[in-house]
Amino acid sequence: MRMSQKILIFARKFYRMIDSRMRVPYIILTLLALLPLKAMSDNHQAAACPEVKMSPERLTPMNEPRAGHTTLYANGELTVIGGRTSGFVPVQTAEYFSNGSWHTMQMVYTHDNGTVVGLRSGQVLVFGGHSEALGIGHTFTVERYDPATHTFEGFGCLDTKRSLASAIELDSGRVAISGNHYYRDDIELYDSQPAFRHIKTPTVQRRHPYMLHSAADDALIFAPIDTCYHPIDASIVDRVKGSTFHAPLLTQWTPLNIESLYDSNCAFVGDEKKGVYANLIAAQDSCGQMAIILVRDTVFTLLPTDVPVPTRSSLGDITYYSPIVADRQAGKAYLKGGDNELRHYVLCIDYAAAVASAEHDRPASVPAKLTLYYTDPIPDIGNQIPVLTPDGNLLIAGGIYDSNYKPFDTVWLFRFNPETAPAGAGLLSATWVWLVLAVALLLIACAVFLVRRRQRATIAIETSSDLDDATEDDPSDADDDSEPTVYNETAALLFERLDTLMTSQRLYLNSELKLSDVSEILKASKRSISDSVKATKGCSFSQFLNNLRIEHAKQLLRDNPNIKSTVLSTASGFANETSFFRNFKSVTGMTPREWLAQP
């Protein structure tokens, strides 16, 4: 039995015995004692992954609002290339930041959702994109940016017209290209010549696929969706060189679908000079759980972490939307996310020791340490892919939140200060101060009362008896339809334990869960558990479980609107689709698709 429960039981008995004139101050003192205990309990639950509050710095805004662009450092200068501006109109400009201000450059072509690759030579390759406003059409256009002269030069032509493609420079200096948007996807190669040449047709048509450097002159290509946004089997992996293969881990863990353009090499955590080719990707299972996958050469394994990858903070649910951005010098990587309240999250993955412990065909044996950074709600940070700054921070320039017609011009810096105190770091000392103060006041009140009543022994005996009664099972353990019991402290405490158990362990996702199973875990009778639910929620135990399952199903629908009903019902804890649909309509008055379509 938890300490807060014991205090409530004692408080209830003690309250009945004290003089009516002392009851108001007694209630105040009791609340003072319980508040720190509740804070300690909440702090313990949220401590699964350390949380650190941070305040991003607003930097000088760009000259023009942008989305569908690429942000990178070229010749040490922060640079944004292409994209579209207000009204969903493509722009034919780029900008670089120097001497405290942004400078606009004229491009040869427009590249809204075009692809940008920073080359080892220092030049920047830019190609493809939509041919019209509103994200319509594709282009063959190619140009090259020279950051030394801040000039663009048009040259060459893609073999396949593209938008939302991925590309990666190989060790040889050649650039492999794959992916398309509502058009044919082919794999082609650029080798410093004006002509781009087709090398193979991919096994699966893909939109903006992952391209991971896997060998000196090879890359892996895979994605969770096709060129028309339909889910596909991400476990089918093509290669620039070599045969297609199947990655079994990706049948259980689906890589995140990344909407915005980014540097395909941003997740590389290997060492080309030593012949170590390793990358990190974030993935999600059918239940919404997150994991980090280490891809070494062609082997996919789960990266162990010291705590589960958080999908919920102490403030709300988290949706991750970026690739992992690695800081190889620091041995840390970052995953960006947000919530419905416009808070922003960055999961820091201290991966160095974990990746070093992995071998070619064996998973890592050392867990990576996770830290979750979060902000207050900030409405004008776009869902743009962050870029790593030369000093190891993250920067987000432009992007959109909920409308392609209203991009931002804002620039934000997420600075990772090791001296920032973890959320709640000062809570323990403050809690103990309040706890000691409340206990001291309670002891004084008790002493006054005991002196007046001279019933110390009686109180001790009755309190002990009450504590024993609170843990005794009710002989009736049936989950029937009888009238609910009267709401009281005992029922409230038992339901609190039940609710905490369900929330922390998600037992309701087990379709075979029975009241007797919960009874055994909580060491309470089935009848008392059933009565506590009726008294607190006004429904039966089975209805309580189904309500939790429906809420879980709603979240899965929000996160993956195209999820199949068979997967949705099973992932939500229902034994079959019929039971799922019946309960969903009973709770919401709508079918799942009707509920999802509502404004």
Spatial CA neighbour of 487 closest among 496, 476, 479: 496
CA geometry: angle 277, 282, 287, nearest 5 deg: 145
Q: Which tokens hold the place of 177? A: 């290209």
Residue with the two structure tokens 């709770």 = 587
Question: For strand 369-374 and strand 51-53, is the pairing parallel, antiparallel, or unpaired?
Answer: parallel
**What is the maximal distance between C-alpha atoms in the chain?**
99
* CB contact at 8 A, 351 and 269: yes
Per-residue model confidence as pLDDT tens for the chain (599 residues)? 444 455 555 555 555 555 554 555 555 555 555 554 444 444 444 448 999 999 999 999 999 999 999 999 999 999 999 999 999 999 999 999 999 999 999 999 999 999 999 999 999 999 999 999 999 999 999 999 999 999 999 988 999 999 999 999 998 899 999 999 999 999 999 987 777 999 999 999 999 999 999 998 899 999 999 999 999 999 999 999 989 999 999 999 999 999 888 898 999 999 988 889 999 999 999 999 999 999 999 999 999 999 999 999 999 999 999 999 999 999 999 999 999 999 999 999 999 999 999 876 788 889 999 999 999 999 999 989 999 999 999 999 999 988 889 999 999 999 985 543 344 333 333 444 455 566 666 777 666 666 565 544 433 333 333 333 333 333 333 444 444 444 567 888 888 889 888 888 888 998 889 999 999 888 889 999 999 999 888 899 999 999 999 999 999 988 888 888 888 888 899 988 888 889 999 899 899 888 888 87
What residues pair up with 73 in beta bridges, in sequence order? 78
DSSP element (H, E) containing 245: strand 245-246
Report the distance separating Cα 292 and Cα 309, nearest Å: 8
DSSP element (H, E) containing 211: strand 210-215
Q: Residue 19: exposed, middle, or buried by beta-carbon count in 10 A (0-12, 13-18, 19+)?
A: exposed
Q: How many other C-beta atoms lie within 10 A of the C-beta of residue 133?
A: 14
Report the distance separating Cα 345 and Cα 375, nearest Å: 7
Q: Which tokens hold the place of 545? A: 């479980």
526: Cα separation from own chain's centroid:
36
pTM for the full predicted model:
0.64
598: Cα separation from own chain's centroid:
25
* CB contact at 8 A, 295 and 231: no
Q: How far is CA 597 from CA 95, 341, 557, in A?
A: 40, 21, 11
CA geometry: angle 296, 299, 300, nearest 5 deg: 90
